[in-house]
Amino acid sequence: MTLLLIVLFVLLLAMGAPVAVGLGLSSAVVIVVYDLPVAVLAQRAVNALDSTPLLAVPLFIFAATLLSTTGITNHLMELMRLLVGRIRGGLAQVNILVSLVFSGISGAALADIGALGKIQMDMMVDQGYTKRYAAGITVASATIGPIFPPSIPLIIFAAAAEISAVKLLLAGAVPALIITAVQMIQVAIQARVQKLPRDDVKPTFRTLARSVVVSTPALIAPIILVGGLMSGYFGPTEVGGVTVAYAILIGIFIYRELTWKRFVAAAVETVESTANILFIVASAALFAWVLTIDGVPAAAGEWLLGISDNPLVLLIILNVLLLIVGMFLESIAAILIIAPIVAPAMIAAGVDPIQLGVVFVLNLMIGLLTPPVGMSLYVMSIVAKMPFHEVVRGTAPFYIPLFLSLALVTLFPLLSTWLPDLFIN
């Protein structure tokens, strides 16, 4: 049963079918061929979507889209340029810092690239950076988005592995800051070795003060998100709703750029993005159900525990597996298929479920940067109008800080568990 399922899925992908269609159609064929209850198709799909944590997904997407329409990205870029632009390699550092702040709004790598990619690329190229380097740092810094709260992939993992979404969202904060710091250190070294250019911005006290005032509403948004989660007053869904309300208020009354037309356009974009994600969620639930009734999770658990019962060894094995999977499978689909299979065995062996979620998601976010199916690479290729292989070459040096960050999160559980344990009992 499992062999037929995987063969059909791979064939559908090879024929160009979307991942969600491949997951759902291959599952449906296996259910019919093996005379399983056809009613499962609707039942499992609906049950997969009947999840409170998943309500946060459209809310965070809507909030990010609304905030993007207010010109927040331009305000953040201007502020970061004034702060660090004059150092050598300053615009590359600005790229990373803006991605960090915007990640506290968007929660998704592709959203960061779509909202910031062209702006950052054009600015860096105009200042003397090569197009390849600009594309590489833009793609690499966007991986901060799915790790720092609010993180859509972390919410999806929490739903799939049936663990606390609030704890998992908080757990992403420290690893995201580590990624940011390591990337900035690498850029600082590259700036000295490669003689990267300085920004031509000329900060004055007046321009800096004005930029701080204008950018403050944008900078407060991530504080509201993280603060709400830490306080315990809000869950992921409530925080998403508060962020949407905040985005509407500052868009109308402070920046005064959120018109009815833009509001509707943001709503339409949110519906489209949410539909794509939830289509994958429903289809992956069918796929995972077929694997489950064929005994794959139990067999995988026995196999993993048969290799070792050492949590670190199991995490290393999982990292290798996910790095391979991430090269070929879309990240949300990979989470929904693999997490229910391996999570029980990993947790039984002593791996902290919160650390597991962070390692899992960070690994698959690196997969967004690895060919042949690196979605971030394809989006950057479209945004920058560059050949795919040139984007890959530009991104290659930035695998170093990402893999180093993954190694640190894998080796030291406290990097993931310290913050949620501090604020949530």
**319-361 residue pLDDT tens:** 998 888 887 777 888 888 888 888 888 888 889 999 999 999 9
Top-confidence residue, 288 or 359: 359
Long-range contacts of 238-245 (CB under 8 A, 24+ apart): 239/56, 239/150, 240/55, 240/56, 240/58, 240/59, 240/60, 240/63, 240/150, 241/59, 243/59, 243/60, 243/63, 243/105, 243/150, 244/59, 244/62, 244/63, 244/66
Average pLDDT over residues 146-156: 85
Report residue 229 as tokens.
Answer: 């989660």
Average pLDDT over residues 265-271: 88
pLDDT at 315: 92
pLDDT at 266: 87
**pLDDT tens digits, residue range 196-244?**
888 777 878 888 888 888 888 877 877 777 777 777 677 777 877 888 8
Contact criterion met (CB below 8 Å) for 68 and 115: yes
Average pLDDT of the chain is: 84
**pLDDT tens digits, residue range 364-407?**
888 888 887 677 787 778 777 888 888 889 999 999 999 999 99
DSSP classification of residue 210: H
Which helix H or strand E contains 221, and what residues bound it?
A: helix 205-231
Angle between helices 56-69 and 90-106 (to 10 degrees): 130
Report residue 50 as tokens.
Answer: 């009947």
pLDDT at 114: 60
Contact criterion met (CB below 8 Å) for 182 and 404: yes
DSSP classification of residue 195: T
- Domain limits, the chain: 1-38, 39-423
DSSP classification of residue 253: I
Which helix H or strand E contains 274, and what residues bound it?
A: helix 260-293
* Number of C-beta neighbours around residue 375 at 10 A: 15
Interior CA angle at 246 toward 243 and 250, to 5°? Answer: 140
